Chains A and B, each alone.
Chain A
Amino acid sequence: MSKTYYDPTDLRKFGNITEWSEELGAKFFDYYEKVFEEGALTAREKSLIALAVAHTEQCPYCIDAYTKDGLQRGITKEEMMEAVHVGAAIKSGATLVHSVQMMNKVNKLEM
């Protein structure tokens, strides 16, 4: 057993999840593959969305995977960083918009 929670080489074993639940694993990977195909959005745009979400989810495997995927697609580091800021802005916005609830509560409770 590894002594750390995350091991970069585990990413290569992702496909093994089908071994313990073949039907659900296969359905997931079929779905996953379909999602990233060219569609109304380009595969390039989807890669940048995935990179931003990888950061907001703070998934180290996904960050490794979609940074490499971006480089392979010719995506620049400036584009990658902007995408991460979009994710960060939504995360912080999501936190801050809750402060309206806090303000509402304060206004209701205070004389």
Chain B
Amino acid sequence: MLKKSLLARNNDLANTQRQLEILSNGIFANGELPTFAKKIKATHQFPLRPKKLEILQLNLGYMCNQVCAHCHVDAGPDRKEIMTKETMQQCLDVIKKTAAHTLDLTGGAPEMNPNFRWFVEEASKAGINDFIVRSNLTIIRANKKYYDLPEFFKKYNIHVVSSMPHWTRGKTDKQRGEGVFKTSIKALQELNAVGYGIPNSALKLDLVYNPSGAFLPGDQLALEKDFKNALNEDFNINFHHLFAITNLPISRFLDYLIASENYEDYMISLIEAYNPTAVENVMCTNTISVSWDGWLYDCDFNQMLHLKVASTIQHISDYNEDLLQDRNIIINQHCYGCTAGAGSSCQGVVAN
């Protein structure tokens, strides 16, 4: 079971340049497999360009109470990168004038940022329609100071999106850590108790499913049905929707793929499942990702690879939506993860 981040372990892959080298060399350099750029050129989708901006996704910090085996953020208790109140204020200034209708808070565990609650209150006043917090669930039970989070979420009508890799303990704990399943179940029951996830409730509770290994997610609706049946039958838990998300070959998941000798087969699976329809709706076309230190990215994955937006505007302090929207999206081979099968995004599949 992982205890430390790649960074704390001085792992080679904590260096994003190294990750990019791996993604560009080997099977892609020798022409055995097409690069992502070549693939989307063939379907006349290059360069990838933004469409209407809908989502501002803010990463409030890489600190987390869990060390998940597949984490693309390389988050964990040893990560100290946290968004400051000053950067949050700059984000609030942007929130007040952006055309985006959804504010998506992620991490790490965003709730661990000491200014999380202040920020939610201020952002709520700014009148965002859809307000997402990506909660790992166990944070709600991690410490007494977090026990009232379900009530807090409810007060601000926050849409809670939580990770749950399987409806069985074994698979969940293997990916997310010993005891995570039991604590997640308790947290889900507490969210249900205040009204989250109940059929027809306005308090939205969605779950995120990531495969626990070197394989792609199955059909999102079929998985949702299985999750609902099992969680309801075993624990009387309700939730609204399941988002099936493909693991992208970066950071800890890339480390796992290489160590388990699954890297090449996994990349082949992604390419075999390439779907040009999914390219039309990948999340980088409607999202701007902001890092804990205010830099701007096409998506959370590019953020973790330190691939800043290709624009004269690169920092939240200089934010100009018109200029920012007129850019080409930075792509690399990890992008195949968002275009496989029915596609993948922070909101689940993107093509049906």
Contact = CB atoms under 8 A, between A and B. Distances in A.
A73 B168 contact: no
Contacts of A71: 211, 213, 215
A12 B218 contact: no
Contacts, number: 33
A73 B223 contact: yes
Nearest to A47: B218
B272 A72 contact: no
Contacts of A73: 218-219, 222-223, 226
Interface string B211-225: 101011111001100
A12 B216 CA distance: 16
Contacts of B202: none
Centre residue among B171, B216, B222, B223 by max chain A CB count within 10 A: B222
Contacts of A69: 218
A39 interface: no
B171 A44 contact: no
A44 B268 contact: no
B166 interface: yes
B218 A74 contact: yes
Given A43-B219, A44-B222, A74 B166 contact: yes
Overall SS of chain A's interface = helix
Interface in B226-273: 226-227, 268, 272
Interface residues of B, number: 19
Contact of A72 (B167, B168, B170, B211): B211
A43 B215 contact: no
Interface residues of A, number: 11
A75 B213 CA distance: 13
A76 B171 contact: yes
B223 A76 contact: no
Quick one: which of A43, A68, A71, A72 has the most chain B CB within 10 A?
A: A72
Interface in B159-174: 166-168, 170-171
Interface string A66-84: 0011011110100000000
B213 to A, nearest CB: 6
B212 to A, nearest CB: 8
A1 B216 CA distance: 31
A71 B247 CA distance: 14
Interface string B179-222: 00000000000000000000000000000010101011111001
A74 B268 contact: no
A43 B225 CA distance: 13
22 contacts: A12-B268, A12-B272, A43-B219, A44-B222, A44-B226, A69-B218, A71-B215, A72-B211, A72-B215, A72-B216, A73-B218, A73-B219, A73-B222, A73-B226, A74-B167, A74-B209, A74-B218, A74-B223, A74-B227, A76-B166, A76-B168, A76-B171
Interface of B: 166-168, 170-171, 209, 211, 213, 215-219, 222-223, 226-227, 268, 272
Closest 4 CB pairs of A and B: A72-B218, A73-B218, A71-B215, A72-B215
